Structure 1
Amino acid sequence: MRRIVFSLSVSLDGFFEGPNHEIDWSRVDDELMAHMNDQFRDTSAYLTGRITHELMAAAWSATGADPDAPPLAAEFASIWLPTPKYVFSRTLDHAECNATVKRAVDVEEIRALQRRPGGDMVVGGPDLARTFRELDLIDEYRVYVHPVLIGRGRPMFQAADEHVGLTLASARTFGNGVVRLSYVR
């Protein structure tokens, strides 16, 4: 059965983006980019909200079309662009980049997707992840902690009433100081 993995980069103080939606604080170098390519190469589907999808589609479509793109970025574009995507949105009727629009998260539909053959499915974006977390649909949390304090912004998780115990599955430190923590239920 395919697992659902939540993957997100955060600052040490727990923000995934700054107060003006900036992510320029993240420390993605060649080592981390190569790791990301390895992590996502076998992904069978991306599950995202509208904003995350639109940002990713714009960035990786441009990178994929750029003959001068850095090789590791071009490789990620070649991984991300053809992979099926499910975009959860109440406002979109259509989404680009091999995407299917869904109006709401239906647990039975997600479980049916999990039963299909293939690699992990990756849920992206904290808002959608909150819904998946509340519905107990996340199997693994991969958090990339960047060695920077940004002070303000959008936190990785909004306040919630449930307590979820997790087990550390692995940790990895990259040369640029980023630490990847992987937790499973």
Structure 2
Amino acid sequence: MRRIVLWLSVSLDGFFEGVDGSIDWHLVDDELHSHMNAKLAVMGAFLEGRRTYELMEEYWPTADQDPAASGPTVEFARIWRGMPKVVYSRTSKSVGPNATLVRSVVREEVLALKASARGDLVVGGPDLATTFRRLGLIDEYRLYVHPVLLGQGRPWLTPEEAKTDLDLVETRTFGNGVVLLRHQVRTPTTHTIG
């Protein structure tokens, strides 16, 4: 069964980006980038909000044309261009190649996309993550925790009233100090008396 995976890099104190929107504190070296590429290459689609999509689209379509680009950078540029993308935005006028513009998140439509996808779907961006969480659409949380305390910035997830129970299914520490925390949403078990 396909899953919807929230995939984010966050600071140790829980921020997605700094006060000024910066992400220059991300420690993405070749080891981490190669790991991410291997996981992302087999996904079925990237699901993104407008801001995340625009940031990615600004750089990745031509990143492999830079003669100084590392091997993992060249590889991800190819992954980015080839991967289907769904962009959720009420304000965007258009999106680039291999992308579909959707005006709002409709639970049934997302579930239909999940059922027909060739691989897991990756959700990127904190606003979209909050919406997907509220609608009960996230199956897995994949957080790459960077060894930095930002002190302030934009939180990776806004508070919600509902509690979500998770099971830790993987951890991995990279040489640069980044730690992967992978949790799956716990599905309620049915107990029968018999």
If the length of structure 2 is used for normalisation, what is the TM-score? 0.92
Query: What corresponds to 2:61 in structure 1?
Result: 61
Query: What corresponds to 1:96 in structure 2?
Result: 96
Cα separation, 2, equivalents of 1:154 and 1:139 = 23
SS for the counterpart of 2:82 is: coil
Percent identity of the aligned residues? Answer: 54
Which ranges of structure 2 fall in alignment gaps of 5 or more residues?
A: 186-194
Q: Is the 8 A contact 1:171 1:182 kept in 2?
A: yes
| Aligned ranges 1:24-43 → 2 under 5 Å | 24-43=24-43
Q: Is the 8 A contact 1:57 1:97 kept in 2?
A: no
Query: What corresponds to 1:124 in structure 2?
Result: 124
Query: What corresponds to 2:19 in structure 1?
Result: 19
Residue 3 in structure 1 maps to residue 14 in structure 2: no
Query: What corresponds to 1:156 in structure 2?
Result: 156
> Which 4+ residue blocks in structure 1 deviate beyond 4 angstroms?
none
Cα separation, 2, equivalents of 1:26 and 1:77 = 18
Q: Deviations over 1:137-176 (max 9, x none)?
A: 0000000001111111001111211111111011001111
Cα separation, 2, equivalents of 1:184 and 1:93 = 35
Q: Is the 8 A contact 1:49 1:87 kept in 2?
A: yes
Letter in 2 for 1:144: Y
Letter in 2 for 1:119: G
Q: Deviations over 1:40-89 (max 9, x none)?
A: 01011010000000000111023033344211101011011111101000
Cα separation, 1, equivalents of 2:22 and 2:113 = 33
Q: Which has the larger radius of gyration?
A: 2
Q: Is the 8 A contact 1:61 1:81 kept in 2?
A: yes
Q: Is the 8 A contact 1:142 1:182 kept in 2?
A: yes
Letter in 2 for 1:123: V
CA distance 1:88–1:111, change in 2 (3 Å): same
Query: What corresponds to 1:82 in structure 2?
Result: 82
Cα separation, 1, equivalents of 2:159 and 2:129 = 13
Cα separation, 2, equivalents of 1:110 and 1:16 = 24
Residue 145 in structure 1 maps to residue 145 in structure 2: yes
Cα separation, 1, equivalents of 2:89 and 2:59 = 19
Letter in 2 for 1:155: P
Which ranges of structure 1 fall in alignment gaps of 5 or more residues?
A: none
Q: Deviations over 1:14-64 (max 9, x none)?
A: 111000011111111111001010110101101000000000011102303
How many residues are aligned here? 185
Letter in 1 for 2:13: D
The root-mean-square deviation of aligned C-alpha atoms, in Å, is: 1.0
Q: Deviations over 1:87-131 (max 9, x none)?
A: 000011310131100000111111111111411110000100100
